[in-house]
């Protein structure tokens, strides 16, 4: 299995994680994609009735023959990864420490749909700005979680309406729990939060909850997805 799946009380601890998909699963995926039976292109090459057949065939062919999954694994496995239970859900996250002693802990959450892969290109500049021509005082320790139901995290644990109803209380609990991820001396006094798309929704509340600890909170809503092809 590739997703984090702790189920016992003891699993609430933080466990090291490494992404290693069995080759048999990759072979099975390619074989099933190769056996796809395609319908007629009812859309006539446009997006009027959904994705055009040629676009879907090209995407399928990429996943069957063009994607180097092992290279993707190696890219993620460059960084320390962990799993833990968070609000009842199994959560996978990257924890990347800065070489700067007084770096500020920063939690970055991806959007919906999305993945921590969105942040891979900024890990270096954020954790080690000096190596990228920046000011070492701007360094961060990073925690990059997959939100439940996405990437390598486990499934969600409640219906959407129930999760929304309890959202404020869960955010308050989460904001307190996330501080336990860090053990960085003086930098433990501050935590910052960054979110994209739906991941930004909880940031203002978290900033309020931890007003005495956090100096900044950044949310970046991405707006609505277009109704036609893009």
Q: Answer yes or no: are the C-beta atoms of 127 and 99 closer than 8 Å.
A: yes
Query: Of 119, 90, 88, 91, which Cα lies nearest the Cα of 106?
Result: 119
Q: What is the pLDDT of residues 86-107, one digit of tens each?
A: 778 889 999 999 999 999 999 9
114/99 Cα distance (integer angstroms): 28
State CA 43 to chain mean position distance. 34
Q: What is the pLDDT of residues 170-191, one digit of tens each?
A: 545 555 555 555 444 444 555 5
171/160 Cα distance (integer angstroms): 15
pLDDT by position in tens, the chain (length 230): 455 544 444 446 899 999 999 999 999 999 999 999 998 887 677 888 888 899 999 999 999 999 999 999 999 999 999 999 877 888 999 999 999 999 999 999 888 778 999 999 999 999 999 999 999 999 999 999 998 888 899 988 776 555 555 555 554 555 555 555 544 444 455 556 565 555 444 444 444 334 333 444 455 545 444 444 43
88/90 Cα distance (integer angstroms): 7
**Which three-class secondary structure string do you get for 17-29?**
ECCCCCHHHHHHH
In angstroms, the Cα distances linking 202 to 1, 135, 193, 221 are: 30, 29, 9, 11
Q: Which residues contact 159 (CB under 8 A, 6 or more apart)?
A: none
Domains of the chain, CATH where assigned: 22-67 (no CATH), 73-220 (3.40.50.1820)
Q: Is 122 exposed, middle or buried (0-12, 13-18, 19+ CB in 10 A)?
A: middle
Radius of gyration of the chain (CA): 20
b/e burial code for range 13-28 (CB count within 10 A of at least 16 → b): eeeebebeeeeeeeee
Cis geometry, peptide bond prior to residue 113 (ω within 30 degrees of 0):
yes
Degrees to nearest 5, angle at CA 26 with 80 and 2: 35
Q: Regarding beta strands 140-145 and 104-109, do their DSSP bridges make them parallel or antiparallel, or are they unpaired?
A: parallel
Q: Answer yes or no: are the C-beta atoms of 4 and 17 closer than 8 Å.
A: yes
pTM of the complete model: 0.69
State CA 178 to chain mean position distance. 15
């Amino acid at each position: 299995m590739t997703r984090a799946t702790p189920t016992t009380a003891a699993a609430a601890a933080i466990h090291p994680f490494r992404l290693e998909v069995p080759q048999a699963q990759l072979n099975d995926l390619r074989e099933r994609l190769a056996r796809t039976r395609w319908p007629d292109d009812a859309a006539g090459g446009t997006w009027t009735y959904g994705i055009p057949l040629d676009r879907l065939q090209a995407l399928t062919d990429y996943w069957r023959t063009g994607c180097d999954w092992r290279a993707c694994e190696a890219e993620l496995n460059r960084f320390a990864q962990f799993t833990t239970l968070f609000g009842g859900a199994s959560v996978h996250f990257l924890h990347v420490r800065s070489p700067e002693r007084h770096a500020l802990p920063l939690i970055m959450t991806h959007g919906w749909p999305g993945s921590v892969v969105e942040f891979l290109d900024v890990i270096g500049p954020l954790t080690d700005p000096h190596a990228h021509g920046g000011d070492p005082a701007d360094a961060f320790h990073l925690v990059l979680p997959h939100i439940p139901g996405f990437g390598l995290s486990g499934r969600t644990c409640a219906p959407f309406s129930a999760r929304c109803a309890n959202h404020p209380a869960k955010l308050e609990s989460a904001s307190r729990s996330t501080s336990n991820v860090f053990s960085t001396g003086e930098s433990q006094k501050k935590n910052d939060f960054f979110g994209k798309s739906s991941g930004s929704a909880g940031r203002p509340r978290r900033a309020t909850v931890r007003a005495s600890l956090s100096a900044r909170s950044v949310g970046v809503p991405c707006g609505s997805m277009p109704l036609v092809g893009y």
